[in-house]
Structure 1
């Protein structure tokens, strides 16, 4: 009987709970379409050569959007874009330059190439974290 009680306590232990990683997207200029967000663990060739751990799509209804990810403590990075026309993909200009607004954790602004994971790394501990990303 005590064994099952101990298992129940362990199930509700703070060591088994996910932290909340909250991403606030700012500077949403057009109130149409969706914000498409990818949450990544450390990987090579971030973000194009990696698969997100989880992705979310959130409808745009105002000048900011809030997305919450339940995560285990660790290192993560965010890549997102505003799919203004709702076609499910990032529209690009010549030479692959994004036509739609986008952003990365740490508000990293790419110059001549995309970011490395370390440029966008965010450490989440047991208490969680809230970050703000301003669309470019």
Structure 2
């Protein structure tokens, strides 16, 4: 009879031991020059061909109401990257100039500034611990 409660206790302990609570990744967006349109934010897990060749695990679309804003994602601890752009004209897409150069402001986690091509995931990697993480992205 004593083995049944012990087995239940052991089962519960092993189940809770492997449980990882979600935490928050907070993204503070700075340098918004025009107070209109929307911010379109994508959150990515590690992938090849970041950001265009990957599908974000979460998206947020936030109306621009000031020169900065805060966006919060609830995620399990792990490695992530953030890519965002300011859809100034509110047409739902990133407008580009010749050769694919963005016309609208954009940014990446770690404030990575592309020179010739888009960044790799590792350039923008952010490690989110169980205590959460706050990052700042300054629009380019």
Question: Hey, which bits of structure 1, 4+ residues long, moved more than 4 A?
Answer: none
User: Residues of 2 paired with 1:92 and 1:33: CA distance?
Assistant: 16
What are the within-5 Å matches in structure 2 for residues 25-64 of structure 1? 25-64=29-68
Q: Structure 2 unaligned segments of length 5 or more: list them.
A: none
TM-superposed CA distance for 1:17, in Å, is: 2.3
TM-superposed CA distance for 1:94, in Å, is: 0.6
Which is higher, the Rg of structure 1 or of structure 2?
2
* Cross-structure match for 1:72: 76
Q: Structure 1 unaligned segments of length 5 or more: list them.
A: none
Asked if residue 24 in structure 1 is aligned to residue 28 in structure 2, the reply is yes
User: Residues of 1 paired with 2:90 and 2:131: CA distance?
Assistant: 34
* Cross-structure match for 1:134: 138
The two structures have a TM-score, normalised by structure 1, of 0.90
The two structures have a TM-score, normalised by structure 2, of 0.87
* Cross-structure match for 1:94: 98
Q: CA RMSD in A?
A: 1.9
